[in-house]
Amino acid sequence: MEELSRVVLITGASRGIGRAIALRLAEQGHRIAVNYNSHKEDAEKVLEEINKLGASGIIVKANVSVLDEVQEMIKTVENSLGNIEILYNNAGIISDSLLMRMKPEDFDKVIDTNLKGTFYCTKLCINNMIKNRWGRVINISSVVGIRGNIGQSNYSASKAGIHSFTKSVAKEVATRNITVNVIAPGYVSTATTNVLSEKVKKEVMSWIPMQRFGEPEEIAPIAAFLSREEARYITGEIIRVDGGMAI
């Protein structure tokens, strides 16, 4: 089935999984808004790669935890590319610490970016999807939102919150030909995991039956599929891509 060229917003798309998704969708000819917060040069490089693949797009700066910035981002995308038809809530941060040492502000900033940012972006994109009776929302979560993780009570809570948020919104918009799904990656080779010590990496590897970290390019095909017309009967799902970590 031939797919239409759609307007896509990917938050946190300057590196890692977001970048891989952007390039995968560029291969399909979509018009892509590459959101970044603090890595402008990386975002510009992603846009260059998108253009080399024959697709068009823009870069747009916004901190997804700040409502005013999200509103401005949505306006910029709509004015430049058109109404957003496919949304990837990928932006996320970590601020790890054992609970007894965790500062309230470290809990708040992770919840604000990961969970509230997903709420803001989805809320501001969903109205046009409802009007047009078509849309895709794909939320990038984490396997720790399912199984938890020592030192990540804030991060795990934010990702578990995304799971329930996804299921609720999926029910609300199901009759409007809009699907809302989650991809929950395991440990993926990105800037976040590359800084882990060899001791921590070895411990993490013992949790993964495949005995390796994933690659962003292994997440992107699943993310791309969920945006397609072929995936129209899949909604409210949490799809793990984790090498068996949460079995």
Of 210, 212, 216, nearest to 191 (Cα)? 216
Catalytic residue among 36, 88, 120, 155: 155
Q: List the structure tokens of 204.
A: 């993490």
DSSP assignment letter at 188: B
Residue 127: how many other CB atoms lie within 10 Å: 11
Distance (Å) of CA 148 to CA 6, 38, 94, 160, 245: 35, 28, 14, 9, 12
Handedness of CA 179, 189, 97, 108 (dihedral sign): negative
* 155 belongs to the catalytic site: yes
Residue 116: how many other CB atoms lie within 10 Å: 18
| Helix (H), strand (E) counts: the chain | 10, 7
Report residue 196 CA to chain centroid gap.
22
Q: Which residues are catalytic?
A: 155
